[in-house]
Structure 1
Amino acid sequence: MQMNYAQPRSLDGSALLTSTLEFESLAFKLDAIKEQNATRTSIGERDARIAEELTSYMEILNLERWMMNMMIVLHVAEKHQRHSDGFRNPRIELQTVNTQCFRDDLMENAGFQWIFDKFWVSCDEIYGPHFLTDNVEDSEVQDAAAILANIVKVRSEVAPFDPIFLDKAACAVVIDRHPDLIALLRTGKDNGDYTSVEKHGAILRSKAKDNLVDLLTGLRPLLSAFIESANPFNPWTPLPSVKCDPAIHAHIESLDIPAVRIDNPGMPIHGLGRFSNDEKLRNRVDGIFQKGAKTFLVNASGTGKTRLSFEGLCRHWGFYFTLAPDSDDLGANDLGPGILQMHRNYKYGLPAPDSPKFWPALKKNIETIDQRLSQVLLGRLLLFHMFSEIVELLGITEEHKRLWLLFQLRPKLKEQSGLEIDVVDDLQDAIYDLTSIEVGDLIAITFSKLRRIHGANFHLFYVLDQAQVVSDPVKALQREGRQYPILQEIIRAFGAKSRSHESSFVAVGTDIPRDGFVNAPFAGEVRWSSDTGAFDDEGEHRRYVSRFLTPAYAASPSGQMFLKRMWKWARGRHRTTDAILKSLLRDGFVTHHRLLDDYIEITTTYRPADYSDDNEPFRYPNLDAIRVGKLPDITFLNAPLLKSTIQQVLFHYLTGKQQAPLLPADLTALVSHGIACFVDGNMSQIAFNEPLFVIRIAQTFLHAPPERDLYGYPKCRNTPWLESGFAVLTHHRQNVTSRSLAGFLTFYLSRAIQGRSVLSEIFSFHEKEVPEWADQTAKLVTPSLKAYDESSPLLTTATAFSEVELWVDGSDGRGTTPFLLTHGSNPDLLFTLQLAEGKFVRIILRSVVTDTDVKDVLLKEVLGQLEHDYLLSDKGEFFGTAQHKESYCVLRVVASFPARTLMEPISSPLDGSAPVACLNHDAFQPFPGKATPTTRKRRGDLLCSDSEPSAKIPRLDSNSAASSFVELPV
């Protein structure tokens, strides 16, 4: 087959191919080659991988990607067809043929020589020694490997050979990686002198290699003892200082909870592997661990991502890497510190791409990454190979996958002296002294040995936990003029060391931007998932918690109430439930309800009062037992849209006991900050509905987040976000409607009125018609004129007039709320006040979202829509019957935003109609006022601290707020 390449005179894409017809011709030839090789599918896969690897490097040069793909695939495929005895590594083949189409003018580019060299490395890594030795009977390589192994065996006493090359398979690997050895062996065979072979650096031992071999030799008996023990973790028991009943102590021991540390029960690994026994959980794990894919599992912190990773590695061979240790300190410290070490060697702020210094700087950065990642991978491979050799003698079982995971989670082996050594740290210290060539050779050789042990179905899953740490684009890495994240380079580098069908990846994190992987070389293999599940089923949650309680207590009335309260307060993400259970275990189950109350109070500063068990002993909070992890912090959250969204959800909860709607997928920052969670598997639905998190965030909003200086220290007190939230709420106008504005006013007016502010401070009246009662205080009442229970919801919504009637009549329990939010009618909000003198004021309010002041004609039009006789002429119950005419009056209110309502330009509101008023905008600015203190005994703790400056708009009562949060339907 004759190839006809265009001879390029420059790197411009139009010069590489002179016409579209030539491109179509090349595409036709490629299709023909694919059809001819249809029976050789494995070869086709490798050719595609070669093209993909070359593409990733060509992109750096901004070459025409399809051109370089076509050239290399066609060229390699053509040369493959010339062989009747099998296919060879393209590196060996292409080095022996005329490749002027690549080398002529392309070599004149400053960066191409390095990229061409990188391509040879890719050929080695993809086709590699395993391709030649495992799949192809290449007589030349096999003969050379046999000769080399014999030389090492015979001459080992006089030459410093690495003893690893006594193995013929290892020799085949090193020959494939160093093809010049074939020529040296051929010359030596012809001349009878192998001196040049004996001096080749690839087969010589070094002090660094000897130290590594000595270390591994010493570790083998320790690892064998670990495997025989079958469990590296001792059972956890409470500290001796915790005084608990002997029966309780025996119960805790029977739970067999691993002790991550002496004071930390290992809840994340308790019952590891049990997901295989649950069809729902097993399917979730299988959906994440898919062979051949690169899955990105993204959700908020504490949603169970890490546990799913553990369960997947109980069923599949693989490596668990964590980029940042968590509070349980599980996992080896190799990849995380390795990333930090790479940062120290980076050249940040690369020169411009057209600068002659750009390519050397980029080359150094990528070589730094490759070198460090290769060292990390070699350490895991050597340990895994030793582990595999030991369990092979015992007979490999599925349980050994779980045991290999446990070893990775705590890679410490105990010496005879009783001291523990960190195996991974010691290995990395030894590997650090190896050359990059030695590291690469050992990786290839170790992979070859692992394939012989695990057989044809050998496959590795690489789990990268806390991947958000390396998910942001960095200046040190660029492709096609765009920065890309280190995570992309980690996946590429690890994947390139093994066959394409032998490795899969699961990247786990709270925030992995999609756009960082759109142009990745492996973009077509990427899958995104948020399928972590949650404690969203009461029965499932009850069964999980019951597992840790004593059977007698779980069956008792107090135990049943405790299970109900745990669901009420801890539902949602898994870590919340586990954190409370950990606290109970550390406390020795001395108290249940009281410790739950303590935990909630420490977490949110709110003391629940929904249950009290008089049989539990009184005790001060056991602060040693209660440990609260990192909680969402929104004091640095400056995005107005996110603040506005959080506020609207809080208003939704505070004004009525109903579940807030799911949030759209474009608010993923709420998930990244740990405020909300994805509740579906496709990262499209976000929920902000977990009681402890909602109350915690509400506390932050109700407090005044301090302004901070450049160093992050508080500088001064600021206005609470809910107190001054009117502007923040409506910052993004596309989200604001009259209905959402009325919802905010429900919350605002309830606080202003219940704070004993006089009505003239809340509303602005027309100067000619100021009611005589305007300077009185008032309180909210229900539509039936009964006192409002402040622990009840504030708001009822109506979507039809019939629902308004139900609210007015008090039917179906609707009439217990003081506010009614209407839908589709002229007034937006209806409520009633009882004045200090005892009379009642019925208020009908219209909210207007506008950028222009409401005045003159527009104001009269709005007021005309609020004529109560017109509104409810045939349903006059809301405005009272004849016998109550003297005890009430009607007030029409216009509330506009962001523009104001101006009453004065009109000479008279509307003759003969009810008084009118507008919302006093100045009242939204907090200032010292008459906020009435509320006793703890009657209404509970305030979510805002008593040390906060008082404001004319009083603080939220915790009973009404907290009960709204925790009583919501799931």
Structure 2
Amino acid sequence: MEAVIERLVETLKEPMTAFVLSDPLPIWNPPVESWTEMMTDENVELSKHIRSLAIPARSDEPNCPDMLLHDLGTMTDPGVTRLIETTFAPTKQPCLLINTSGSGKTRAMLEGLTQHWGLYFICSHDGQHGSKDLSYVIDELPDDKNFTSVLPPPGSANFRGLLEQNQTLAAKRFFEVLLSRLIILDLFLEIVSRFGVKEEYKRRKLWLLLQLKPKLGHIPDVFLKATLLLNDLNAPKRNLVRVGKIYTTRIVSQFNLRQLRLPIVLDESQRAAVAYTSSFRSAPGSITNHSAEIDPRPVLRELVAACLSFFTSASTDDQIIPKLIITGTGLRRDTVREAIASSVLKHGNFLSVYIIDSLDDKVKHRRYLQKYLPPKLLESKAFEHLFDRVHHWLRGRYRFTAEYISLLLQDGFRRPHRILGDYIKHAIGCMPTDICATGAINREDRFFDLFPKISVFPFDFKQLERLSDENGPEVEALVRYAYDYLLGSSPPHSFTLREIAFVQYGFARYTHETEVVQVEDTLQPVEGKSNLSSDPKIHVSEPLILLALALWSNRKYNYERPGRWKTRSFLYVLCQSFFGNSSKPEIGNGLENYIAYYLIAVLGKKEGCRLGDIMNFHRKSELADRKAQLAAVHILRDDQAPNGSSILDQVKAPTAADHISQGVITSTILHEEGVDLSHFTGALGRRVERAEQLMEWLLFRHRNAICFPDRNFGPDLMFVLKLLGDEPGTKPTYIWVVVQSKQRLKEPELDKRDLVSCLHTVTPSSFYFDTNGKPYAPKRLPKLPAKVLEAMSFLPDRETELAGKHSLLRVIGAFPAPANLGRIFSVNDDDDDDDDDTSDEDWQRVEAVSPDIQDPDMDNHPLATLSITKMLNVMDEFEPLGKGSAFLRNHTEAMRLSNARVRVKKRAKQDGRKRGGKKEADSGLRRSRRVIKAKQAKQEATKRKEDAKKPTQVGHKRKRTGEEDDHPRKRATRRKS
């Protein structure tokens, strides 16, 4: 055995020498088709900048930059430094490092291995970095003829023998992997000493790079070759341990140490934590199994036991002390604890570290991006616009931004906006339109296809679909939250550790609830907090993930063939929340959500939508014949507001230096499936709870097309419409639209009080005013109503002729009782004579405020009602919903019967008047007259008593006055005559 190993070592000395003396990380250069165009006089500085970055090339794709290994060993982030100190602490206690894919686990471990000598293994190889030795052994283990994949029941006669045979085979194969790594390490130390590589840091980094890029000369993977050689020898475990003692002694002596602490990193171990549970068992009475039962265990347990057992047996006087560091995506602490609890690791204790380092912080994200961009771009105003978009879409885990930078480098930074748009479309299947009006994309031509070269996105929809069969309610809650975010930009949602599969499949990540707070539209870590957490929370908060999840789930469900995917479409969820399972809608904001979805569907057509087709204008308006699209306006200010300044002090007109983006929302109506977005600017809406948040939206600091204002503002919805020109080439204009939704179930149509309330809420002069005319202006926001109107006046390219003073269209959306605006203006409305909720005093107050109830502020803002029939016809195209029309039909029939009963009562009342002649048919009026007569009689009696007390003059005749003619009895006699 030793002779075979020596012959292997001799064949490796020459290529190992070449590796040590050469640069193991070849510098990446842009591909020829991109680089040729760049080599012009004006781009010389750009080419120098790209070369100066010295980014290594990927092993599997030499034409692509290797972002993971760039500047390896130079990371100075305080959070990463603390993580390395904790994880690589000189203790025997194993460490478990957990978070989602793309969150920086691997890079943190590699940084640690540049500071500590160690072994790096990958349990599940992805083809880019590291040796395949361990993953190969794990994959090939069931193919061994002596391996039993499914053990018999524990009570079987041959159970114990087959279990021990599996454990022995697995330990032997893992021993071969460990021994081969020590053989190559010993050879490496010999070569670096012979050729004078004295710097300890350089030696460690070279050793790490050899483990990451194991190609040595003509050998693709030197570690895998050594492992296969040992496997061919089929040596027993004791021989492997005996040779291991030789190499541990030689390695420790080359370090001039008596003892060597050796970290062993087992990366991507999530698969090993669940694989082959039918092949291995725990020992009765173990740390995690106190009973006599024998529980299933994954292959990770055997791997951990082999690592600890090998170095315990192969090290004399503990020459090498191993420190296990296990990393994985979505690993459960209990699962790992059960997996590694054995006779070797007697206490089953280990340290859990949750890495929550990310690019949520805007300053940190900017610094990371600036590191790669050329100086000319950084010094231009275009950079602020680009970074604003990058942070809006890609904030969160490192991988998103790193992949985007890789594409920028390959394209020579020529088309940053187009690449960002195509990258987002590649991830979520929808093109972002948040910069259409700037022309930035239009100035960037198409480019060669880079996207087959990027890595797979870190979310696994296939696994999520499989998980829905096992944990349907949890998956449904995740999808519904994604829908809430899509419609209203909901804040980050926290899941429990039961939903750890969401982390494993890339949809969620670990954070600490006290370290992550919502600041405007971004997550910001609280300053001074550690990024290590012992009690983490699972959050879903990254825009790219949430939008991808919402759009994919919406497209996935098929009403005719539901299949395995049980989560409903976006529209189905909205209808369920609005109509519920009964004939009565649930209390809440279901109607405004339903209307918002409908407006997205009809106003998202590429050719636009004629407003008169979806609205009934109260008076003739040219807007009825105009086509419009739903738009989202965003303005990136050139100057930043001072810290601590009030939002009201920031209300000002845009300048020429500001970036103004006016992106449209484009959707496709998919029959039987609902609306499928094809172009949009991010989350469709923003639900606000405070006036400051509404002002931020009015100042165009967000990219959401629809705003759901706070309760003090007035209307339920507010958005911007892009009015398309009648002729090609005509510059489009923009208007505001406010919608007041009103849900009434017991009336055939809205009564006057509801109509007046709706008119009040949609009138601009009433924004942040209550019905009594009292303004809502807290001390922190003085003059709030006036500032709102001022902010609205700064809508870019706003229409000033067709939509009144503030370029605003007022809309009332009532369901199921329609809004008949004609009722407001009727003087003799018999139907309203019986309304108990509309008093004469109310109408006197309204008429005193404004003689024109339809336009209280006299600013000529057009008024319309939403065509409910049209809305339900559109919504009924999505099967099997149809609930809106059915509900409306039932309500209409109920109101028809109710109206019939009312007409019968009125007709009986009128007939009673005719039959009674002079007698009053109205009993209420008779009661009122009896009360009046009683009061008059009482007054007369009082007056007679007073007159009787007055003295009379004898001998004088009383003078006749007109008062006697006004006596009540005489007045009654005159009336009868």
TM-score interval, smaller chain = 0.5 to 0.7
State the partner residue of 2:202. 399
State the partner residue of 1:497. 310
Map 1:447-596 to 2 at 5 A: 447-454=248-255, 455-472=257-274, 474-479=277-282, 480=284, 481-499=294-312, 502-519=321-338, 520-521=341-342, 522=345, 524-596=348-420
Counterpart-to-counterpart distance in 2, 1:532 and 1:776: 51
Matching residue within 403, 413, 416 for 2:216:
413
Q: 1:294 to 1:749 in 2, by over 3 A?
A: farther
| 1:2-28 Cα deviation digits (max 9, x unpaired) | xxxxxxxxxxxxxxxxxxxxxxxxxxx
State the partner residue of 2:936. none
* 1:791 match: secondary structure: strand
The letter for the 2-side match of 1:309 is M
* 2:270 match: secondary structure: helix
Matching residue within 270, 276, 285 for 2:84:
285
Counterpart-to-counterpart distance in 2, 1:686 and 1:817: 29
| 1:211-231 Cα deviation digits (max 9, x unpaired) | 2211112212332332233x3
Counterpart-to-counterpart distance in 1, 2:591 and 2:87: 45
State the partner residue of 1:640. 472
Map 1:879-894 to 2 at 5 A: none
* 1:463 match: secondary structure: strand
User: 2:95 touches 2:352 (CA, 8 Å); kept in 1?
Assistant: yes
State the partner residue of 2:178. 377
Q: 1:595 to 1:803 in 2, by over 3 A?
A: closer
Q: 1:297 to 1:509 in 2, by over 3 A?
A: same
The letter for the 1-side match of 2:386 is F
| 1:311-335 Cα deviation digits (max 9, x unpaired) | 11111111111122225x1101100
User: 2:716 touches 2:741 (CA, 8 Å); kept in 1?
Assistant: yes
Counterpart-to-counterpart distance in 1, 2:63 and 2:352: 37
Q: 1:729 to 1:582 in 2, by over 3 A?
A: farther
User: 2:483 touches 2:550 (CA, 8 Å); kept in 1?
Assistant: no
Map 1:194-209 to 2 at 5 A: 208-209=1-2
User: 2:689 touches 2:711 (CA, 8 Å); kept in 1?
Assistant: yes
Counterpart-to-counterpart distance in 2, 1:596 and 1:888: 37
Matching residue within 495, 501, 504 for 1:672:
504
RMSD (Å) for aligned C-alpha atoms: 5.2
Matched, 1:226 2:19: yes
Deviation at 1:656, TM superposition (A): 3.6
State the partner residue of 1:304. 104
State the partner residue of 2:6. 213
Q: 1:708 to 1:350 in 2, by over 3 A?
A: farther
TM-score by length of 1: 0.58
The structure whose Rg is larger is 2
Deviation at 1:357, TM superposition (A): 0.9
User: 1:411 touches 1:424 (CA, 8 Å); kept in 2?
Assistant: yes
State the partner residue of 2:287. none
User: 1:643 touches 1:729 (CA, 8 Å); kept in 2?
Assistant: no
Counterpart-to-counterpart distance in 2, 1:423 and 1:320: 14
User: 1:391 touches 1:400 (CA, 8 Å); kept in 2?
Assistant: yes
* 1:498 match: secondary structure: helix
* 2:372 match: secondary structure: coil
Q: 1:405 to 1:756 in 2, by over 3 A?
A: closer
Q: Whose helix fraction is larger, Structure 1's or Structure 2's?
A: 1
Counterpart-to-counterpart distance in 2, 1:495 and 1:485: 17
**Number of paired residues?**
649
Deviation at 1:582, TM superposition (A): 1.1
The letter for the 2-side match of 1:634 is F
Counterpart-to-counterpart distance in 1, 2:579 and 2:136: 42
Deviation at 1:373, TM superposition (A): 0.3
Counterpart-to-counterpart distance in 2, 1:840 and 1:588: 45
Q: 1:833 to 1:389 in 2, by over 3 A?
A: closer
| 1:218-265 Cα deviation digits (max 9, x unpaired) | 212332332233x31211111223224232333222211111232221
User: 1:244 touches 1:590 (CA, 8 Å); kept in 2?
Assistant: no
State the partner residue of 2:824. none
Map 1:752-791 to 2 at 5 A: 752=598, 755=601, 778=615, 791=632
| 1:908-965 Cα deviation digits (max 9, x unpaired) | 9x984789xxx99x989975269xxxxxxxxxxxxxxxxxx999999xxxxxxxxxxx
User: 2:493 touches 2:541 (CA, 8 Å); kept in 1?
Assistant: no
Counterpart-to-counterpart distance in 2, 1:294 and 1:717: 40
User: 1:320 touches 1:463 (CA, 8 Å); kept in 2?
Assistant: yes
Counterpart-to-counterpart distance in 2, 1:592 and 1:561: 11
| 1:88-141 Cα deviation digits (max 9, x unpaired) | xxxxxxxxxxxxxxxxxxxxxxxxxxxxxxxxxxxxxxxxxxxxxxxxxxxxxx
Counterpart-to-counterpart distance in 2, 1:535 and 1:524: 34
Matched, 1:704 2:653: no
The letter for the 2-side match of 1:517 is V
Deviation at 1:604, TM superposition (A): 2.5
User: 1:484 touches 1:516 (CA, 8 Å); kept in 2?
Assistant: no
State the partner residue of 2:57. 259
* 1:320 match: secondary structure: strand
User: 2:101 touches 2:329 (CA, 8 Å); kept in 1?
Assistant: yes
Deviation at 1:376, TM superposition (A): 0.5
Matching residue within 738, 750, 763 for 2:596:
750
Matching residue within 621, 630, 635 for 2:456:
630
State the partner residue of 2:569. 721
Structure 1 residues not aligned, in runs of 5+: 1-207, 758-774, 847-858, 895-907, 931-948, 955-970
Counterpart-to-counterpart distance in 2, 1:670 and 1:529: 18
Deviation at 1:352, TM superposition (A): 1.6
User: 2:709 touches 2:717 (CA, 8 Å); kept in 1?
Assistant: yes
Counterpart-to-counterpart distance in 1, 2:587 and 2:30: 53
State the partner residue of 1:650. 482
Deviation at 1:891, TM superposition (A): 5.6
State the partner residue of 1:326. 126
Deviation at 1:429, TM superposition (A): 2.7
Counterpart-to-counterpart distance in 1, 2:115 and 2:164: 39
The letter for the 2-side match of 1:704 is K
User: 2:252 touches 2:258 (CA, 8 Å); kept in 1?
Assistant: yes
Q: 1:251 to 1:842 in 2, by over 3 A?
A: closer
Q: 1:463 to 1:308 in 2, by over 3 A?
A: same
Counterpart-to-counterpart distance in 2, 1:740 and 1:508: 46
* 1:462 match: secondary structure: strand
Structure 2 residues not aligned, in runs of 5+: 285-293, 313-317, 513-531, 604-611, 634-683, 721-736, 774-809, 818-830, 839-867, 886-977
Counterpart-to-counterpart distance in 1, 2:812 and 2:26: 75
| 1:653-673 Cα deviation digits (max 9, x unpaired) | 334456334444432222112
Q: 1:586 to 1:420 in 2, by over 3 A?
A: farther
Deviation at 1:267, TM superposition (A): 0.8
Counterpart-to-counterpart distance in 2, 1:404 and 1:732: 63
State the partner residue of 2:151. 350
User: 2:434 touches 2:632 (CA, 8 Å); kept in 1?
Assistant: no
Q: 1:524 to 1:732 in 2, by over 3 A?
A: farther
State the partner residue of 2:959. none
* 1:459 match: secondary structure: strand
User: 1:663 touches 1:685 (CA, 8 Å); kept in 2?
Assistant: yes
Map 1:728-877 to 2 at 5 A: 742=588, 746-752=592-598, 755=601, 778=615, 791=632, 794=685, 796-798=687-689, 819=708, 843-844=741-742
Matched, 1:443 2:244: yes
Counterpart-to-counterpart distance in 2, 1:551 and 1:819: 41
* 2:151 match: secondary structure: coil
Counterpart-to-counterpart distance in 2, 1:951 and 1:371: 65
